[in-house]
Chains A and B, each alone.
Chain A
Amino acid sequence: MTPRPRSRAHRSRVGLLAALSGGGVLGSLGRYAVGAAVPHPTGGFAWSTLLVNVTGSFAMGVLVVWVLSMDRPHPLLRPFLGVGVLGGWTTFSSFALDARTMVTAGHGLLAAAYVVGSVVVGLAAVGLGVTLGERTFGPRP
């Protein structure tokens, strides 16, 4: 008995899973490497997390404008790059844990600066990415 041929829907689900997992692995390993390359003392300012979150936010701004500018974007492009790579590269959970670690180390003001700074600089980075993206690929529809 020959095995039943795989359906198109099955193949596309496998492709989606591969794009999401593969992208998430790439982004997360990158974030892990940044954390190892830019260490900070316990309770210190988490520069590595700020770095991945700000650069990832900038890239997300560019990515969304780029994908929206395409007539027929590949269906796996946004799952791979947006959810996988950039979702793996950036992190909210470490951001929250960093803030807790700073507070429990007695650096409450530093934690406040870290939280506010991450949000403000992250938003500015998205805006910059969107603006540069629209200059390159044209305004969003």
Chain B
Amino acid sequence: MTLTSALLVALGASVGAPLRFLVDRWARRHSRAGTTLGTLIVNLVGSFLLGVVAGLPDATSWVLPLVGIGFCGALTTFSTLAFELWVFLERREWKPFAATLGISLGAGLPAVWLGWAVAAG
């Protein structure tokens, strides 16, 4: 952990967090109340992009802290996903609970593989 890499993480995060907010706001306007579309979009896109960054065969040293740890880390979220899932549990809304968890894992994990495969060529 160097000062340079910390600055790169900060720079990436300063863009990722506002973008996450914009995606979430867009999703709330374009989907029914109570859906978790915004969280799903940022987590799937961020996982794919991190896969790309981590899978690049000859990436320069600044790419992973800037794009991977900073941008993708701030764009994606585990805490909001966990909270949304918890609310479904509290309300005994099993279908949206299962759908949100199923899509997050069932698409989010393969998204990393896909990104890696795309980058590795």
**Which A positions have Cβ atoms within 8 angstroms of B?**
16-17, 20-25, 27-29, 31-33, 35-36, 52-53, 56-57, 59-61, 64, 79, 82-84, 86-97, 99-100, 115, 118-119, 122-123, 125-127, 130
Contact = CB atoms under 8 A, between A and B. Distances in A.
Interface residues of B, number: 51
A25 B10 contact: yes
Given A57-B82, A60-B80, A29 B9 contact: yes
B13 A115 contact: no
B83 A126 contact: yes
B74 A24 contact: yes
A119 B101 contact: yes
Given A57-B78, A83-B24, A100-B109, A24 B50 contact: no
Top 3 nearest A-B pairs (CB, nearest first) are A24-B17, A28-B13, A90-B78
B74 A87 contact: yes
Nearest to A95: B78
13 contacts: A20-B18, A25-B17, A28-B74, A32-B6, A57-B83, A88-B73, A88-B74, A92-B42, A92-B78, A94-B72, A119-B101, A122-B82, A126-B83
Nearest to A36: B1
A79 B21 contact: yes
Given A21-B13, A60-B79, A93-B49, 7 more contacts: A24-B16, A32-B73, A92-B47, A93-B43, A123-B82, A125-B82, A126-B83
